[in-house]
C-alpha cells in the first residue's frame, strides 16, 4: 500500500501544477513522501532528508539500487599475470565473467561462480584482488608513475595500495598507512600475496604523518567516511547515522586532508598531486571538505582524469563552493552500477602553508626524511645528564644554573670551588646560553625561588 502511495505522490510531484489536489501544498506531499520512503526502505528520517535533497528526482532509483548488491569485481594483478590469462584460468574453474567496461583494462566483473573467489589457487598466488569497481577510480585518478614516492594514507585492506604498486611496476617507493593495526595486517598479507616489494607499511594516525615524513610525489587519501555510498554492503548505515556522525566524519576528513596536503611536495617534478576519495555521497564529507582545504592550503582543483561520472556540486543548498568544484567526480549506484563514490584531485602549487610561513621551518624543506622533533631534544637531554654528572652538590648546581650574563660575579664565585674541571664547567651551561630549553630553565628558577 505504501508503495502505491509513494508512486502516486511521485506522479503528482513530477507535474505538481496540474496534478495536485486543490488545497494540498507541496510541502505536505513531500512530508508524506519522506515518511513513506522511511517506512518502506527502513531509513531514519535524518538520512532520508539528506538523500532526498541530494536526489530530488531519482530518490527511488537510488534507494532501489541500495537494496541490490553491486556486482562482484576483481582486479588483475599485472605484476603476475595478464587479464586474458586470468580470465581463461577462472573460466576453467567454472567462473562466469566479463571485462568490467571500457574504462579499465584490468577489471573483470563476475556474474556467478561455482568456487569461492576468495580462495582459488589463483587468488592465493596473487593473480587477482577482490575489489569493488569504485575503488579503481581514485587510483586511476592518482595516475602513479614509475619511480615516484607515493603515500596511501588509509590503506586497509590494501586493494588500492596493491593497484598503485602494480601501476608503478614495483619501482619507486610506496608508503601504506592505516591507523587500525588489525586492519593494517590485512595490507601486509595482501601486499606479500601480490608480490609487491616496494612498500613500507605503518600504522600511524594519519594526522601525525607530516611529523614523520614529507615530500611525497603523490598522496592518496581514501578517507574514513559514513559509508552512505555503500548502503548495499552495510545496511546498518540506514538507521545508525545521524547529524553528529556526519559532522564527526567531516571533521576528521578535514584534518586528514590537510595532513595529506602537508605530506605532498609541490616541487615534485612529476607529481605534487593529492587525490581525495570517500565512499559517501554526502556533500558534508566531500565538496565541503575539499572547499575547506582549498581555503587553508596552497592547492587547486584539477580534473580528476576520469571521463565518466557526474560532476561535483559547486553549489548545494546553503553551501557556495569554489566554482572549480565541478572538476570533482561523483559516482552513484543507480547511474553507474558502482558504489556511491566521490573523487577529487588536487594539485599543490606551493609548499608554504598560508598563515604560518614563519612558524614551521621544517614545512619548507620539501624533502623526505626524518623530522623527529625528539632528535633535537635528545641532544639536550644528553647535555643535561652530563651536567648532572659533573655537578656534585645541589647547591653548586644552583649557582651554576643561574644565567651567566646576568651576574658574572656569582658565577665566578661558584666557579672557584669547582676548580677540578673548569673547562667542563662551561659545557653544561651551553644549553642555557642558547636559550633553547625553556622548560629546563624554568625548573631551575623554581628551585631558586624556593630557596
Partner 1 sequence: MRPLTEEETRTFFEKLSKYIGENIKLLLDRPDGSYCFRLHKDRVYYVHEELMKRAASVSAPNLLSFGTCFGKFTKTQKFRLHVTALDYLAPYAKYKVWLKASAEQQFLYGHHVMKSGLGRITENTPQYQGIIVYSMADVPLGFGVAAKSTQECRHTDPMTLVVFHQADIGEYIRNEQELT
Q: Which residues are catalytic?
A: 279
Nearest to residue 71, comparing CAs of 339, 283, 376? 339
Our finding on whether 363 is near partner 1 (CB under 8 A) is no
Our finding on whether 125 is near partner 1 (CB under 8 A) is yes
| Cβ at position 192, least distance to partner 1 in Å | 4
Q: How far is CA 326 from CA 50, 144, 381, in A?
A: 20, 23, 53
| Cβ at position 181, least distance to partner 1 in Å | 7
Question: How far, in Å, CA of 415 to CA of 400, rounded?
Answer: 8
Our finding on whether 118 is near partner 1 (CB under 8 A) is yes
Nearer Cβ to partner 1 (72/150): 150
DSSP code string of 179-234: S-HHHHHHHHHHHHHTT--SEEEE---GGGHHHH---BSEEEEE-----TT-TTT-
| Cβ at position 198, least distance to partner 1 in Å | 6
Our finding on whether 186 is near partner 1 (CB under 8 A) is yes
The pattern of x and - marking residues 24 through 53 that bind partner 1 according to CB under 8 A reads ------------------------------
Give residues with Cβ within 8 angstroms of 107, minimum separation 6. 73, 74, 75, 76, 99, 100, 101, 133, 136
Q: How far is CA 61 from CA 55, 140, 240, in A?
A: 9, 27, 22
> CA torsion 128→131→133→136, rounded to 10°?
-80
Our finding on whether 94 is near partner 1 (CB under 8 A) is no
Among 14, 358, 370, 393, binds partner 1 (CB under 8 A): 370
Among 13, 117, 130, 173, binds partner 1 (CB under 8 A): 173
User: What 3-state class would DSSP assign to 11?
Assistant: helix
| Part of the chain binding partner 1 (CB under 8 A), chosen from 67-75, 190-198, 288-296, 299-307 | 190-198
CB 277 within 8 A of CB 316: no
# binding residues, partner 1 (CB under 8 A) = 36
Query: Cα angle at 370 between 183 and 294, to 5 degrees?
Result: 70
Our finding on whether 147 is near partner 1 (CB under 8 A) is no
Beta pairing partners, 275: 220, 345
Among 63, 86, 151, 184, binds partner 1 (CB under 8 A): 184
> CA torsion 279→284→290→293, rounded to 10°?
-130
| Part of the chain binding partner 1 (CB under 8 A), chosen from 29-37, 183-191, 401-409, 430-438 | 183-191
Our finding on whether 121 is near partner 1 (CB under 8 A) is yes
Our finding on whether 185 is near partner 1 (CB under 8 A) is yes
Q: How far is CA 428 from CA 64, 382, 411, in A?
A: 74, 10, 13
Our finding on whether 181 is near partner 1 (CB under 8 A) is yes
Nearer Cβ to partner 1 (181/295): 181
Nearer Cβ to partner 1 (30/186): 186
Our finding on whether 204 is near partner 1 (CB under 8 A) is yes
Our finding on whether 188 is near partner 1 (CB under 8 A) is yes
Beta pairing partners, 174: 150, 199
List residues binding partner 1 (CB under 8 A). 89, 118-119, 121-122, 124-126, 149, 173, 175, 181, 184-189, 191-193, 195, 197-204, 212-213, 368-370, 372
Amino acid at each position: 500500500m505504501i508503495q502505491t502511495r509513494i508512486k502516486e505522490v511521485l506522479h503528482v510531484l513530477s507535474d505538481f501544477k496540474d496534478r495536485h489536489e486543490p488545497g494540498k501544498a507541496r510541502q505536505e506531499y513531500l512530508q508524506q513522501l519522506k515518511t513513506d520512503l522511511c517506512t518502506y526502505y527502513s531509513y531514519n528520517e535524518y538520512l532520508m532528508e539528506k538523500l532526498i535533497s541530494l536526489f530530488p528526482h531519482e530518490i527511488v532509483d537510488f534507494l532501489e539500487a541500495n537494496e541490490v548488491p553491486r556486482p562482484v569485481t576483481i582486479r588483475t594483478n599485472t605484476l603476475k599475470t595478464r587479464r586474458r590469462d586470468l580470465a581463461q584460468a577462472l573460466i576453467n574453474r567454472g567462473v562466469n565473467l566479463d571485462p568490467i567496461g571500457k574504462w579499465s583494462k584490468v577489471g573483470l566483473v563476475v556474474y556467478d561462480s561455482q568456487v569461492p573467489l576468495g580462495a582459488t589457487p589463483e587468488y592465493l598466488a596473487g593473480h587477482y584482488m577482490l575489489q569493488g569497481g569504485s575503488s579503481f577510480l581514485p587510483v586511476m585518478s592518482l595516475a602513479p608513475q614509475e619511480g615516484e614516492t607515493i603515500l596511501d594514507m588509509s590503506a586497509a585492506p590494501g586493494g588500492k595500495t596493491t593497484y598503485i604498486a602494480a601501476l608503478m611496476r614495483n619501482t619507486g617507493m610506496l608508503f601504506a598507512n592505516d591507523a587500525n593495526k588489525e586492519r593494517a595486517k590485512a595490507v601486509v598479507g595482501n601486499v606479500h600475496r601480490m608480490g609487491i616489494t616496494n612498500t613500507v607499511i605503518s600504522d600511524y594516525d594519519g594526522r601525525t604523518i607530516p611529523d614523520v615524513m614529507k615530500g611525497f610525489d603523490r598522496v592518496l587519501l581514501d578517507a574514513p567516511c559514513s559509508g552512505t555510498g555503500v548502503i548495499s554492503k552495510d545496511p546498518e548505515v540506514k538507521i545508525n547515522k545521524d547529524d553528529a556522525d556526519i559532522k564527526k566524519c567531516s571533521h576528521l576528513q578535514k584534518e586528514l586532508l590537510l595532513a595529506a596536503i602537508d605530506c605532498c611536495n609541490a616541487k615534485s617534478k612529476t607529481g605534487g598531486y593529492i587525490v581525495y576519495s570517500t565512499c559517501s555521497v554526502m556533500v558534508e564529507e566531500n565538496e565541503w571538505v575539499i572547499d575547506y582545504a582549498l581555503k587553508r592550503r596552497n592547492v587547486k582543483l584539477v580534473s580528476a582524469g576520469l571521463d565518466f561520472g557526474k560532476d561535483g556540486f559547486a553549489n548545494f543548498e546553503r553551501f557556495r563552493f569554489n566554482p572549480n568544484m565541478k572538476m570533482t567526480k561523483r559516482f552513484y549506484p543507480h547511474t553507474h552500477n558502482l558504489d556511491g563514490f566521490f573523487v577529487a584531485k588536487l594539485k599543490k602549487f606551493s609548499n608554504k602553508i598560508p598563515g604560518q610561513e614563519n612558524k614551521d621551518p621544517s614545512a619548507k624543506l620539501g624533502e623526505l626524511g626524518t623530522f623527529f622533533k625528539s632528535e633535537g631534544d635528545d641532544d639536550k637531554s644528553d647535555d643535561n645528564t652530563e651536567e648532572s654528572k659533573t655537578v656534585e652538590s645541589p647547591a653548586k648546581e644552583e649557582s651554576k644554573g643561574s644565567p651567566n650574563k646576568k651576574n658574572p660575579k656569582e658565577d665566578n664565585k661558584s666557579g672557584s670551588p669547582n676548580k677540578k674541571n673548569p673547562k667542563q664547567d662551561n659545557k653544561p651551561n651551553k644549553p642555557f646560553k642558547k636559550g633553547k630549553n625553556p622548560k629546563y630553565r624554568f625548573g631551575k628558577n623554581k628551585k631558586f625561588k624556593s630557596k
